[in-house]
Amino acid sequence: MGGAVSAGEDNDELIDNLKEAQYIRSELVECAFRAIDRADYYLEEFRDSAYKDLAWRHGNIHLSAPCIYSEVMEALDLQPGLSFLNLGSGTGYLSTMVGLILAMSKILKSYLKATDKEAVIKGPFGVNHGVELHADVIDYAHQKLDCFIKTSDSFDRFEFCEPSFVMGNCLEIGPESRQYDRVYCGAGVQREHEDYMRNLLKVGGILVLPLEEKLTKITRTGYNTWETKKIIAVSFAPLVLPKHRENGKPRTVPLPAMFEVRSLQDLSRISIRTTLKKSVSGSWPLPRRVGFRGRSRAKQRREHRDSTLLTNRYVFMSRLIPGPLNDNHHPGTDDEEDDCRGVCEREEDEVEDEEDGRRKEGRVLLTEAPVNLLRERILSLPLPEPLKMYLLYYREK
């Protein structure tokens, strides 16, 4: 399924094509698609096909066509703080885009509409769960999620409602399980399972699923009332029916906890990252605005490099803050800071000559700002005393 739009040379050009063909219609969905590179979810030997509007499958690993994901994201009408359940979560590509919107949609909306420059959401919040049948696909999704968190520029720009994946058959979720605001099923559903899927929704919730060869949006308008809308014709592999157990007892899929309690260290890092985003580089760059058809591709690439430069400055500054302790219960070494500084300086040297003034300004920030000055600034923030003492210990080391 797919092939509705032309192939792109990169992720941004693919999104441009989807927008031009009206598969992507809202700026919020467009920002989420631009923030996640589709090719990152392909195996390396298949990356050349990542920007075609085609589905991809390798063994149990599967990605739907970009035009399908576009329609799904638009139909879900995601909002901040909602709970989302992805049935057949696969590689985690869709769940990762959803995670950005759940935590950041108000910021993106205020930026795009230019009506509320002070809007800030402290995240992450919302609920982002996935159920996947195959253990190898769960492992693959965890690898891609870990790579996104450690290497993606978008993770440093935005807050993120991290998805949680569990293994099991989505038709074995217990009838007493919790309900969600938004549900998506990534496998073909027959009419006899429609009521089962509907019961996973809260009142006011939205379910998007392939129902008898049609991508369908079902809105729960009341306890026993529903609105149904057919979107486009699709072709999905059917749901795998549960296997009968020998003892005859039903098997139930244990869904993740609705709200997880984060450690003090996680909460401290979230607070520090948020502060650094606002203080180190001012307003943080968001995914590129739409309407690039009137601009040259070279100018778009310059804007992307400038955004990457700002990201690397932030990554350098944020890594001066201690993260998870190593095996000896000590923070990272000075060598790691030197490596990070070197990466940032090399990125600056690649900026074009017309950006020379800005590049020099960045080099001063990276090479002349004393490390202790940044730590003193953090210590002056209204942080809990135990955290200040921890940072003080790290500074003196």
Catalytic residue (one of 64, 83, 105, 154): 64
Residue 271 designated active-site: no
Residue 113 phi, psi (nearest 5): -85, -15
Residue 66 in contact with residue 118, Cβ under 8 Å? no
Residue with tokens 């129902």: 211
Residue 216 phi, psi (nearest 5): -125, 140
Buried b / exposed e across 122-138, counting CB within 10 Å, b at 16+?
ebbebbbbbbbbbeebb
- 91: number of CA atoms within 13 Å, CB side? 23
Residue 114 phi, psi (nearest 5): 55, 45
Which residues fall within 8 angstroms of residue 242, CB to CB, at 6 or more apart?
A: 169, 171, 172, 251
What's CA 394's distance to the chain center, in Å?
A: 31
Residue 66 phi, psi (nearest 5): -55, -35
Residue 154 in contact with residue 35, Cβ under 8 Å? yes
Residue 178 in contact with residue 200, Cβ under 8 Å? no
Residue 226 in contact with residue 220, Cβ under 8 Å? yes
Burial class (CB in 10 A: 0-12, 13-18, 19+), 226: middle
Look at residue 365 and give its three-state secondary structure: helix
Which residues are known to be catalytic? 64
